[in-house]
Structure 1
């Protein structure tokens, strides 16, 4: 043998080797299946059916034949049993199997009843187009509980509203005057108003920022000497809804000034006819409870949607508080304008509150959704939009409360403006609806399309 000319044998390609292995495995499994069919098939065929009594055989066969003819008129009278590797199932077995699989995978469901839309409450409102838009959004997003209120700040008249609870859009605004809703971070408006009224703070005052914005621990309220940590301006603390800085401001301002500012915003007042109900603001004189009340980190501070709209309107117009009214909402809002003896803030405070609310939209918690993401660019640029967000867990009704109160005002004509209040309650264990700021952006955009003058006119 010539070892010098020896060449190693080349291996088959990988794909060919895998194919050959699959073929061998398939042949092996087929042989095993054939052997099993031969062994167990003979055992079954060797078993004889039990012999029935001859006296009842004729009756049973007649009854069986009659029932078979009624149930399956086209089925053959006798069927030859089939044996082999893959015995053929009869049509009845296949039908039963299909029925059981269908029942397990897609059980029969009763289609839900179509909701009947009653537009009576829409047609009765001042701005029917805006009311219809609100109604559509409530049916589309389906919040657990919600109330939407829009007011004309010039006349202070309610122009459109909508409410949803008990899985249905309501025909009456019961939530307008309800005073069990926690005010959450909307109470921060009281704090910065008291701070500016005290002449100790301005929008650009630097406040120590200790820890996270959304928490409120006692160690976040202790400021060490020669503090070198981060600071935040008061307007940004309000815009970003930071709890510790606002709590520090409230503790420095004091409970008396906070209560005085709260009174001018309508808290702790009994309104004529109980419209709305009494909203509560009762901070303790000192301690951690004062800090909680200053930043709205407590359920004890409550607010009704109607009063929230009155607060925004007062800030926008720089006028004393006045509850929004409507001629066709008896029992839910005053029928006419009623002057309230609550006093007013200084013009500087009203200006600061308005600017802080605008900063919430441009640099704060409402920036994401009240933007060109949900508004036409031309409308967004033509409006001065401000607001305040808030969220907190509550118990009447139970869930996560989410607020937005704010305004949209034309930059070209300040007389064209609208006040908007949205309050939603989300199920803590279920799916949340769209954010209140997203709904606000869509409503501001729709209002602008309807009310801002078109170019060339």
Structure 2
């Protein structure tokens, strides 16, 4: 009797294990999907370059020789997207782009390219032919802070003007009469080239600068469900001047896309964690096939949380008294009262692909759980029509409108 009972219990245990294993297998199989980000990017390439986000489309699985028709849903914030479209169409730079992401998930909240004369250059938002200019100072500062080579209050001596970079100014001065001293955070906010050039020569080894450039996705394939180009990084030579040019952003060898700019800002806003960006939230086949549902995935901890906090304080200085103070003047006062934290970094340089004056703003804004990492690029062939920092300020103002309106209404009642 005991043997029969133990045998029955043993069989029950065996079948329980088998059923559990089968349930695990089927549940894991259901989660598998044949749709990679690369496959989705191929299906959306032509549409996205024209600022089109079709609700339905076809995904081709080349390896299985299968074409699947289905429905797309996107991560875009339509209100934010439409507000930026109006701004670009109002000011009409020759070329421009705006990208905004949710730093905590990587979801793309806005993606727009502007091309006034409809020249065939593809998506400006995803193209990486644009000099990073002084935006690269973010990477240089991150390397210095993360490696404990400097902090925001570190005082650096230098000679020369703020926005020039000459070989003689990078050498120890012979005459102390013209020596200036500036804290790193102020040099960042005012975008002082010589300070960052000296950091690259005397403080940060080339290997570290290269390492942090790669951490921020230069010379990397960006893991995104869009046909995005890779940003490039490299030194033009072995002499100290070439290192200084890279560290300060005063060169045309370091190139990036607006998408990458938004990712950089997002990582800083997200305490140093960079997330994989994605535009497609889901794809549902019309007939046969497994559905696709995007899931947030981290690229990695590119800088420490403490370094990210220090960078945010430096970026806040940029909008308070630095190179973008005029664009953010009114908004900075209102946002402070509304507890909306915001900061950024500007960059400008003449480029050739396409020809024109390139103007960058890469930054973030956050309040509570709502955070936005963004990048704006405008290119002007002849006449300037708008600053990228101004367009960024309008985006922040729109995204946090309810918080800012509450502050304005209180102020009106007091009057």
Query: Fold-level match, TM-score > 0.5?
Result: yes
Structure 1 match to 2:286: none
CA contact (8 A) 1:138 1:169 kept: no
Structure 2 match to 1:132: 82
The structure with the greater share of residues assigned to strand is 2
1:443 maps to which of 395, 405, 410: 395
Gapped regions of structure 2 (runs ≥ 5): 1-49, 56-73, 284-291, 410-415
TM-aligned CA deviation for residue 293 of structure 1 = 0.4
Secondary structure, counterpart of 1:401 in structure 2 = strand
Structure 1 match to 2:378: 424
Structure 2 match to 1:263: 214
TM-aligned CA deviation for residue 443 of structure 1 = 1.7
Secondary structure, counterpart of 1:174 in structure 2 = coil
TM-aligned CA deviation for residue 225 of structure 1 = 6.5
TM-aligned CA deviation for residue 154 of structure 1 = 2.8
2:350 maps to which of 386, 393, 396: 393
TM-aligned CA deviation for residue 356 of structure 1 = 1.1
**What value does the CA root-mean-square deviation take over the aligned residues?**
3.2
Structure 1 match to 2:337: 381
TM-aligned CA deviation for residue 292 of structure 1 = 0.4
- Of 203-212 and 274-283, deviating more is 274-283
TM-aligned CA deviation for residue 259 of structure 1 = 0.7
TM-aligned CA deviation for residue 365 of structure 1 = 0.4
Residue 203 of structure 2 is aligned to residue 245 of structure 1: no
2:266 maps to which of 303, 308, 313: 313
User: Number of residues paired by the alignment?
Assistant: 329
Gapped regions of structure 1 (runs ≥ 5): 1-117
Secondary structure, counterpart of 2:88 in structure 1 = helix
Structure 2 match to 1:348: 306
CA contact (8 A) 2:103 2:274 kept: no
CA contact (8 A) 1:376 1:445 kept: no
1:223 maps to which of 166, 169, 172: 172
Residue 363 of structure 2 is aligned to residue 406 of structure 1: yes
Bigger CA radius of gyration: 1
| Cα deviations by residue, 1:384-442 (Å, 9 ceiling, x for unpaired) | 110000000111111110000111112xxx21222221001101xx3211111111112
Q: 1:337 to 1:241 in 2, by over 3 A?
A: farther
Which residues of 2 match residues 279-298 of structure 1 at below 5 A? Answer: 279-283=231-235, 284-298=237-251
CA contact (8 A) 1:307 1:323 kept: no
TM-aligned CA deviation for residue 347 of structure 1 = 2.5
1:322 maps to which of 256, 269, 275: 275
TM-aligned CA deviation for residue 302 of structure 1 = 0.4
Q: Relative contact order (alpha carbons < 8 A, sep ≥ 6): 1 or 2 greater? A: 2
Question: With structure 2 as the length reference, what TM-score do the two structures score?
Answer: 0.72
Question: With structure 1 as the length reference, what TM-score do the two structures score?
Answer: 0.65
Secondary structure, counterpart of 1:176 in structure 2 = coil
Secondary structure, counterpart of 2:362 in structure 1 = strand
Post-superposition, which runs of at least 4 consecutive aligned residues in structure 1 deviate over 6 A?
122-125
Q: 1:122 to 1:223 in 2, by over 3 A?
A: farther
Structure 1 match to 2:71: none
